[in-house]
Structure 1
Amino acid sequence: MRRSGLVGGVTQPERASDVSLPPLAMVAKAGGALRLAAVDARAQALGVAPGMTLADARALEPELVITEMDEGADRQWLDRLARDCLDWSPRVTLAAPDGITLDIAGVDHLFGGENGLCAQIEAAMAAIGMTLRHAIASTPQAAQALARHGALPIRDERAAIRALPVLALGLDANSTLALNRAGLRQIGDLAARPSATIAARFGAGAMSALYRLTGEEQAPIDVLRDPEPLHFERRFAEPIALQATIAAVFMALLQEAATVLAERDLGGRRFVLTLYRSDGARHRLAIETGRATRDPTLVLRLLDERIASLADPLDPGFGYDRIGLFLPATDPLPASQPSLEGREKDEAELAELIERLSTRLGSDCLQRLIPRDSHLPEQAQLALPAMDARAPVPWPRPPEGEPPMRPLFLFAPPQRVEVLAEVPDGPPHRFRWRRKLHEVRLYEGPERIANEWWRHKGGECAGQGGLTRDYYRVEDVQGRRYWIFRHGLYDEKPDPQWYMHGLFA
């Protein structure tokens, strides 16, 4: 059976080829010191390698750009890439920290053979800026070892495996160093020695890794699978129609689901209850929760809210002969220790209120603002259904004792104002808004905000990236505070206009 091992990196091809960019390295703390965990092609060309201390790397290349390694984000990204690879093979295995193995036995012909399949994967990875090394071998360990350490392309698999360094065995650093000191630098050197001698001197793990590499020993593989949605069901010999009996069945299904969810450290985000009437009709009730839960009482209360909001009440007819509970969406929900302040109770009560209102009124009727990565004020927040917005994201806070930089209330769109300034590029001296004249007593600014020039064709050229805004926080003689801006500089536009964008509380 043939498999293809794929190794993806974090370096983007365009960065590696751009000599104008400084070399990049990622650091992680190991043994009380900062060491390089990953480097790009520019850094490698300068002699910087993973495992070096940060001080040694800085001494070797002073212009080295350093960023912290985020192992959690790397794992999530690798898992995402692996799930994308399910388009090419139903058997995909993670080979952390940067590898993916695909079993292509019986599927490569669907993509024009092995070369066609590899070409498709290379194109898909290049489209998202990932470098790629791949190799095809008869075992997953050999495919990964050849992709990481082999001289590509592979012409003869057996010869290529024997030429690999002993580092390809995946042993710990001490075992690899011992093999090199003994003069066993390649897999071929190790395979030529008696197995009993190697096992006695270097441990059984060395021979087991060698056998797995050559295919003489099979190792279990953990194939990536999407978890099956949970489904629970009750069937009845005689249809049930009493409300109390139906409610009891609801609770029994929810308690069974809670037990399974607790065993898997999961919580439900979406619950679908289907009632099958004896005459073939179906009633389907779906609810969503703002956060993962496995509390049967809470879910039953939300189901009651959902039933109460129906335009037509449930009609059991001659009774239900089957009731099913389906959980299409779940999230991790590990056990947690409540704090002494009782903050979790307040958060739970708020989440429950959001769930009840969204269930009764509809998910689009209750929204929550979350921060958005944009420097334009009107685009710096995004309104999402409160049920869809996960854990609240903290908003930027002003320094202690300082007034807020942005008002809570924004006009959409900003409203025109007439402004009189002492100098053309200066702050407003007085302004007229909604037919009323306001004398400015205090002002603060300007806060200059450029337009998103990269969204305009030719925006990198001067004068084609849009108009710049100069924002002022002003206070009139009556103590009211406003947020106004001049749209455009005088070297961008001969007569820039002024606008009222927001009001401070």
Structure 2
Amino acid sequence: MLIHSLDETAVRAGLSIGLPLANARAICPELTVFDADEIADRKTLDDIADWCDRFTPLVALDPPYGLYLDITGCAHLFGGERALLQIVCGALSRRGFAVSAAIASTSICARTLTRHASGKIVADGEEAEAVAPLPISALGAGDAITAGLRRAGLKTIGDVALRAPHEITARFGASFTTLLAHALGQGDAPISPRKPLPDYIVEKRFPDPVATDTVIAMNLSALAAMLVTAMDKQGKGARRLDASFFRTDGAVRTISVDTGRPVTRAEVIDRLFRERLDALNDPLDPGFGFDLIRLSASRTEIVVQQQRDLDANVHDNDELSALIDRIAARIGGKRVVVHLPEDTHIPERAVLAVAAQHHLAAAAQAAWPERIESEPPLRPLRLFDKPEPIKVPFATVPDGPPHQFTWRRVTHTVARVEGPERIAMEWWKQNGDGPTRDYFRIEDEAGLRFWIFRDGLYESEPPDEEVEPGSVRWYVHGLFA
């Protein structure tokens, strides 16, 4: 059992990370110990990152305890870089976190400063001067490299920077040389934000938190109008919308809505979010109130203008798309599906269920097989997801139907039969091992119609002879209306 992390009081007592717990108790008998929980630590870091979204949409993780915030173009909204740094550190400190933060033009330089110079803001071009007096452990290059540099008499980052790059590379590798260069402000490694940057963002900050449904809905409607105005300038419409609600206690709730067609009207956005909020299993809880509401369009498309005065189909498609969007907002987009035909003769694979919002146009243009007039349907209206086995006491071989079968503990006597329709499996996908099916349309004495098949073929026997099924299996695959 080793020390995983510790606070400043434990450090002053002479403890360090990696020290055996027994040794730590010998040094500090009054030590208070908690079991390390890396999963909970990661969850907490994710929660803090969600809270930091109120300052910038570009937030990246630096495991196990760090965060990167790209505040380019955002600092002036909070009174400048110094004020923003104080807001972030002060808010986290009040919640019981020990915070170390710094601002620099490169992410590696800022991270290096946080380890030994918290609260420092480095101007562009002064990175090398700022990190030079720091110990080499601040680079976070690993214990082996840090020990090797110290054995070579290089104790600070400035000492290492005075050496030629090829000397450092030959001894410690190119990755460490790149890390050192970034810390000195010579280039930068791009951060990887947790969330992709939305195409459009509008938000409303409140000096006094809001908590009533009426005020929240009113502000969400105002944000929808602002978002539509911003998108309209570039001729775009929203396909995915995200509403984020930032509570004063740091909790963040994001509600997402997808649309089948680009949305260009504020009232449509407002209606979709009303449907979504009303259908939430976990209602939106304002707690002590929201101090920020943000509406973003994370996916947009160019709006194609259509002739709407003469073409009635355009209006019908718009109404159908709007209806699908409203139903999807209430019960979920994955539950509203359309069916597309597939180029296969295997019955259970002939239809593909896809999300209606994203494939409505394809469904409207799908070419389904035409039904022959005055002929019964070749396929049942209800097809089981998985064929259900039936018991057949005897059948006519080699190609005949059963005379009687038992399904779900009910025995059915066959009155009328059509078939067989022989369907072989796709040998090019199954190495020729798939059995051959013979399908029959069957009506029993009660007038119920079934679609059953024989899985496999009987051995060669004299025609019209009744034999036991043996290894051949029978299934019911669907029901006719």
- State the TM-score, normalizing by the size of structure 2: 0.49
- State the TM-score, normalizing by the size of structure 1: 0.46
